[in-house]
């Protein structure tokens, strides 16, 4: 059985949890408290030398880290990853976009506000992240105005990857009310079979 080392309120960890549920794959969840530095112990660093969650233990003592790589591994050969080479590359395109333009602004703002209770302490950093986060949301809005999902008009791990932190963007100080295509897409994701909430 797979083991997932994670935090139930982390969007990166939620990607893995949501996908495993939607694939109906059994797994064991092991809670890691990042605020207690549990991902930084020498024991944990043998699982992920980068000291971060999520980590998937896919076989006894064998580990995979990076949420989007884990989703790629789990979804290979399923309906959540297109077979077509170009469409598969488009899934990767959106997952790289998520990691470079979305997560570093939206997820990290949420971390500073929600986990560290640092809206005041980190207000300058947050102010820098805000326009970059909105720029990523604008890119999503433009795409979703023309398409129901990110790739091939079908739900895939590209949607899971972008959903994870978009649906809680308000906790990072981002107001989604000025968008229309994003909220409609969030509802489409929520209505997918075997959807589960974060937490």
Ligand X SMILES: N[C@@H](CCC(=O)N[C@@H](CS)C(=O)NCC(=O)O)C(=O)O
Q: 39 vs 75, which CB is nearer to ligand X?
A: 39
The whole-angstrom separation of Cα 44 and Cα 50 is 9
**Radius of gyration (Cα) for the chain, nearest Å?**
17
Q: 174 vs 179, which CB is nearer to ligand X?
A: 174
Q: 56 vs 179, which CB is nearer to ligand X?
A: 56
* Cβ-proximal residues to 119 (8 Å cutoff; 6+ apart), any chain: 112, 113, 126, 173
Distance of CA 41 to the CA centre of its chain: 24
Q: 184 vs 196, which CB is nearer to ligand X?
A: 196
Smallest separation, CB 109 to ligand X (Å): 13
DSSP 103: T
Smallest separation, CB 15 to ligand X (Å): 8
Smallest separation, CB 108 to ligand X (Å): 8
The whole-angstrom separation of Cα 38 and Cα 88 is 34
> In terms of residues, how long is the chain?
199
Smallest separation, CB 114 to ligand X (Å): 11
Asked if 115 and 168 count as a contact pair (C-beta separation under 8 A), the reply is no
Where does this chain bind ligand X (CB under 6 A)?
10, 12, 34, 39-40, 51-54, 66-68, 99
Q: 54 vs 172, which CB is nearer to ligand X?
A: 54
Smallest separation, CB 12 to ligand X (Å): 4
Quick one: how many helices (H) and strands (E) in the chain?
8, 4
Asked if 149 and 155 count as a contact pair (C-beta separation under 8 A), the reply is yes
């Amino acid at each position: 059985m797979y083991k997932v080392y994670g935090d139930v309120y982390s969007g990166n960890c939620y990607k893995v949890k949501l996908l495993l549920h939607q694939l109906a794959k059994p797994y064991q969840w092991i809670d890691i408290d990042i605020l207690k530095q549990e991902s930084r112990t020498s024991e944990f660093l043998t699982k992920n030398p980068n000291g971060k969650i999520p980590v998937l233990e896919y076989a006894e003592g064998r580990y995979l880290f990076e949420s989007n790589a884990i989703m790629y591994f789990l979804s290979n050969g399923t309906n959540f990853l297109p077979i077509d080479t170009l469409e598969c590359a488009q899934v990767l395109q959106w997952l790289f976009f998520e990691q470079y333009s979305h997560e570093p602004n939206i997820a990290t703002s949420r971390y500073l506000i929600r986990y560290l209770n640092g809206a005041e302490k980190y207000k300058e950093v947050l102010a820098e992240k805000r326009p970059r986060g909105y720029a990523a949301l604008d890119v999503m809005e433009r795409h979703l105005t023309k398409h129901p999902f990110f790739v091939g008009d079908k739900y895939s791990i590209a949607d899971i990857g972008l959903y994870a932190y978009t649906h809680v963007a308000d906790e990072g100080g981002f107001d989604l009310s000025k968008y229309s295509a994003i909220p409609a897409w969030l509802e489409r994701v929520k209505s997918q079979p075997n959807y589960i909430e974060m937490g």
